[in-house]
Amino acid sequence: MGAALAVAIPTTADAAAARVDNPYVGAKAYVNPDWSAKAAAEPGGAAIANTPAFVWMDRIAAIGGTPGAMSLREHLDTALDQGANLFQVVIYDLPGRDCAALASNGELGPTELDRYKSDYIDPISEILADPAYANLRIVTIIEPDSLPNIVTNAGGTAGSTDACATMKANGNYEKGIGYALHTLGAIPNVYNYVDAAHHGWLGWDTNMAPAGLEFKKAATSEGATVNDVAGFIVNTANYSALKEPNFKVTDSVNGTTVRQSKWVDWNYYVDELSFAQALRTQLVGQGFNSNIGMLIDTARNGWGGADRPTSAGPLTSVDAYVNGGRVDRRIHAGNWCNQSGAGIGERPTTAPEPGIDAYVWAKPPGESDGNSQPEDNDEGKGFDRMCDPTYEGNGRNGNSKTGALPNAPLAGHWFSAQFQELVRNAYPPINGGGENPGGGTDTQAPTAPTGLTSTAKTSSSVSLSWSASSDNKAVTGYDVYRGGTKVGSTTTTSYTDTGLSASTAYSYTVKAKDAAGNVSAASSALSVTTSAGGGTGTGSLKVQYKNNDSSATDNQIRFGLQLVNTGSTAVDLSTVKLRYWFTPESGSSTFGTSCDYAVLGCGKLSLAVKSGGTAAGASHYLEVSFGSGTLAAGASTGEMQLRLNKSDWSNFNEADDYSHGTGTSFADASKVGVYTAGALSWGTAP
């Protein structure tokens, strides 16, 4: 399984040390022997024991090593011995740490910022800066669960705590994280990723936008700048599903939207992938660098096994539809401690989706989230009732049962029963490596993918699809190669490659893989030439589009847009208009328009449908105007979720609409126009 991130290491020290945009590309990641030995000793564990995962520095003593765990320097030395060029470590010891969860409280009091700096961050920095480790790409996760607590649990909500109110008032979370970013970011081969909770915590617009502001505040404190942030990570040590395959947030049942279901509870996101991609867009709009990447912790969010649904639930009610189809089987999305029924998720994978640097294992499977009963300890960890399977819950989990496993040890300690349950419920299943629950050794590779074709292209992206491979066990995914270099992975038979140059030919191949690490031969090569850039325009703006509608023949057109400034100067948004071309077919000739969500705020947008001529698929267009404001160089407006309907609510046929696309992730859209001061500056008008 560790082979998912294992590729050839550059042959020269200079190549290995060079700063890269995505530290996971071309990386062989370190496998922690401490964790690996425990995993291998469990039934079925040998199949995943060589999977790379993060090392946790969760107290000052961990830097120098504790009984049964190597020191930070010993880990780094062992990484060199393994021939690794990627080392992953969690920085986790803030003053007043995790003010909302007693199980992960830390050793430092709320006011011990100076000790955090001198006794924790500075010694870590000194070790990481040792020239002996200069050829390692060192990825850090900066302080899980801290800044999101300031947003949601520091006053005025059912889940608020006095401890979080204290940390918000004294500012030591922001100061501590700013100091860590600044100090560690000064080391050339360190890549800092800030923790950003998960969709079930920050997915509401009332939380997501304030979280972005909080992240920006921390990233510009104590000498830090946005340049010290390589990206963000979501779902750290959590269980939120990577993808919910059986329903979408835009679905409705008998006129009631999925957002209104008890499980979704008006959230804008139902899984981590859609949340991570949208959050990245918003953060770029807040002023973070446009090349930031996202990580998703997939160590424990697989939710497989016999209870994994294969279709949506019945249409009797929206709750039945969602609950019957959701793969996340928790009682409530607020439950976080040692969840019963959970399974190991996607294995660590590089660049699996647009904007995602990697799927990673931040929380090593088998390490407890917290003790299920009070337990004396010298690690500063308390007893949190959310880890008690008999607890009836609180405002943060809708006063629901916790769903926690019994007999759990302290947070971070080995929990054998949990590990075995995670292996049993893994998705993709763990069925290879010779020590799997089903027995047997799988050495047969899948068949090579066939029928590789390009389904769409723009000036900076190519969309691919192919026919599925077959395998004696099961195909778990596909790796996509551009010119012989792996550019991403997917569990489906389609992929969109982005960040390309206009009017340029690219050669693609695809390989299939299974859970045992067997890889197929490459597909036949496909050459694709990207479109010319900018359509008839020459400006510095571009627009990106994604389809938010699962049906092309219903009574609404629903899509997302975001405007990106690729230039070096700010743009006056009052001069900019976007046009999405479509045909209404029969029915009413008047229209209704709606903005469901916009990072900028729907109040800053004006929507109008206008007649656009007689070109095929483009008799009308939805025009989007911005009342005021500027768009900084390199920034994005963030997502704008838009929809329109005919006044009589008759159906559309979107399949032939000029601007319609099928991609569900943002990609450059050459058939959506950007007009600046009345002149076309992006896209090709019909």
At 557, is the secondary structure helix, strand, or coil? Answer: strand
- Residue 296's φ and ψ, nearest 5 degrees, are -130, 125
Kindly state the tokens that stand for 686. 């019909």
Closest by CA to 138, choosing from 181, 180, 104, 88, is 88
Cβ–Cβ < 8 Å for 79, 9: no
Rounded Cα distance, 299 and 235, in Å: 10
Sheet with 672-676, edge to edge strand ranges? 605-611, 620-626, 576-582, 672-676, 679-682
Describe the crossing of helices 205-219 and 272-285 by its angle, rounded to 10 degrees: 50
Rounded Cα distance, 260 and 582, in Å: 29
Helix, strand, coil distribution of the chain in percent, nearest 5: 25, 25, 55
Which member of 98, 195, 384, 514 is catalytic?
A: 98
Rounded Cα distance, 40 and 34, in Å: 10
Q: How far is CA 212 from CA 169, 193, 195, 207, 452, in A?
A: 18, 14, 12, 9, 39
Residue 93 designated active-site: no
- Residue that has been written with the tokens 């479509």 in this structure: 582
Cβ–Cβ < 8 Å for 343, 303: yes
Query: DSSP assignment of 416-460, as one string?
Result: HHHHHHHHHT-SS----TT-STT-S---PPPPPPEEEEEEEE-SS
Cβ–Cβ < 8 Å for 194, 229: yes
Kindly state the tokens that stand for 282. 């918003």
Q: Which residues are catalytic?
A: 98
